[in-house]
Amino acid sequence: MSLKFSQEPLAAQASCLLVPSHFDTDLLPLSNDEKAWLGQQIMLKKDWVAIPRLPEWIIIAFSSHKETAAARLEHRRRQGNTVLGFLNSHGFKNLQLSALETETDELMAFAEGMALGNYQFLKYRSDAGEKKNSMAEILIQDSRLTKDQLDAFAMEIDTLIWARNLVNEPLNYLNAEMLAEQISLKAESAGVKTEVLTKKKIEALKMGGLLAVNRGSVDPPTFTILEWKPENAVNSKPVVLIGKGVVYDTGGMSLKPSGSMETMKCDMAGSAAVSAIIAAAASQKLALHLVALVPATDNRVDGNAFVPGDVITISDGTTVEVLNTDAEGRLLLADALTYAKKFDPELVITYATLTGAATRAIGSQGIVAMETKAEKEFALLIESGYHVHERIAAFPMWDEYKDQLKSEIADLKNIGGAEAGMITAGKFLEHFTAYPFIHLDIAATAFLEKRDSYRGLGGTGSGIRLTLDFLKKLASKK
């Protein structure tokens, strides 16, 4: 569930006022006793204080002393999530939120932390009514914000939560065909042109990577094409977003150990991200020509499943020696990267839960990323990463890493050696590009098994806030 945002009158059960770190509390409309209580809590270094004033509560939330604007915004998001926990624990349903001597970006960051932190996936819980959070609405009172701005903000939150729901869906409720259907419904409702290629069309296009991964499945693959092309687009060539859509990954014949398989319903998080991004961009009428591509299948073990040692042919004619069937995502992404060439793109970005190496390298606090021929766009993406706190860890794409992908019997192997697995995966993808290219490995950030503030538990929607901020910056610079 997402929070509702409104500027309409609301009989709020609590109010929250955001103020600077050194705000003169004597200026607050509080009684002497309340001011004394507030002063005691400040002495205890509390950065927010809840003051009971029946039948309402008043919450005062201070900004942080952090040096950068990005760090202060992240503090507000996490602070909003913490205050949300207090409100839910007391059964509050709504909150009036305002600010004094505080920029609107801090106000919206606080609201964002509350909205995303309030997310729950209770679809299959018989006790969902008891577990459901009480908080449902925020009244934001700030004359600097327009209704259109607030509506756009609420829509982004709802779209991100839609993506989280997709990632949290189990395979028996979301195979490749179901994923394509859900993506199409969402995209079409936002005005995005949608086409879903069936297995027959995929075979006609000779998408050997996608078809190989699908060989062990009883369900057919899909390839979804989404396009947003407004009349006022500021880019003459589209930005293409490609999302890995492996709805479940057993590892295939290179079977994963059971402890590594339990959460593999999240292996389609890239597809959820790109679908949410283009839907949100279209809903906001963003003046950019965008395309999103989603190759989708599950990777299972069956009598006809592809096996280590097989040689497959990608749709551009590249032959690949498969040494590990658990390195399957790059195979279907190769077909999508090849298909992207038909759009003569300005930039292509891949989103994929691709390697365990990315997780081992930096953990869940950032996205492993690399680029080729896209230095300016990559710098802008890094800037957006700090702004929304979906930070980018830049890795090199040196040519020497491609040596690990040389095969004796085919053009490429699908894995490199034991070192730098996230980079050799990126180099594999790079082979299929002839355009500016950025690769985002969201393996560590797309799904959390332990709650982390507003990022929550389970699907996080990794890459969505990052890319929307990036695309808006990109459009403004045209």
Task: Give per-residue pLDDT as tens, 365-416.
Answer: 999 999 999 999 999 999 999 999 999 999 999 999 999 999 999 999 999 9
Q: Taking the chain (478 residues) in consecutive chunks of 10 residues, what is each chunk's mean pLDDT?
A: 63 88 87 88 90 87 91 97 96 93 96 97 96 93 91 95 98 98 98 98 98 98 98 98 98 93 97 98 98 98 97 98 98 98 98 97 97 98 98 97 97 96 98 98 98 98 98 93
User: Rounded to the nearest 10 degrees, how much is the dihedral formed by the CA atoms of 315, 320, 323, 328?
Assistant: -20
pLDDT at 258: 84
DSSP strand pairing (367-372 vs 437-441): antiparallel
Q: What architecture is the 157-476 domain classified under in CATH?
A: 3-Layer(aba) Sandwich (3.40)
Reply yes or no on whether 330 is catalytic.
yes
φ, ψ of residue 293 to 5 degrees: the values are -120, 135
What's the Cα-to-Cα distance from 345 to each of 193, 207, 284, 291, 348, rounded to whole Å?
Answer: 17, 20, 22, 9, 7
The CATH code that applies to domain 4-145 is: 3.40.220.10
**Could you tell me if 347 and 277 are in contact, meaning their C-beta atoms sit under 8 angstroms apart?**
no
What's the Cα-to-Cα distance from 194 to each of 189, 191, 291, 340, rounded to whole Å?
Answer: 10, 9, 10, 15
Segments in 46-191 forming alpha helices (H): 69-89, 104-117, 128-131, 147-168, 176-189
pTM recorded for the entire structure: 0.97
Domain extents for the chain?
4-145, 157-476
**Could you tell me if 182 and 166 are in contact, meaning their C-beta atoms sit under 8 angstroms apart?**
yes
Q: Give the whole-angstrom CA distance, residue 416 versus residue 323.
A: 9
pLDDT at 2: 55
Please classify residue 474 by burial: count the beta carbons closer than 10 Å to its beta carbon, then call 0-12 exposed, 13-18 middle and 19+ buried: buried
Reply yes or no on whether 300 is catalytic.
no
Task: Give per-residue pLDDT as tens, 308-329.
Answer: 999 999 999 999 999 999 999 9
pLDDT at 1: 43
Selecting among 35, 132, 256, 341, the annotated active-site residue is 256
Facing residues of 293 across strands? 225, 242
Q: What is the DSSP string of 202-238?
A: HHHTT-HHHHHHHTT-SSPPEEEEEEE--TT-S-SS-
Selecting among 72, 330, 402, 427, the annotated active-site residue is 330
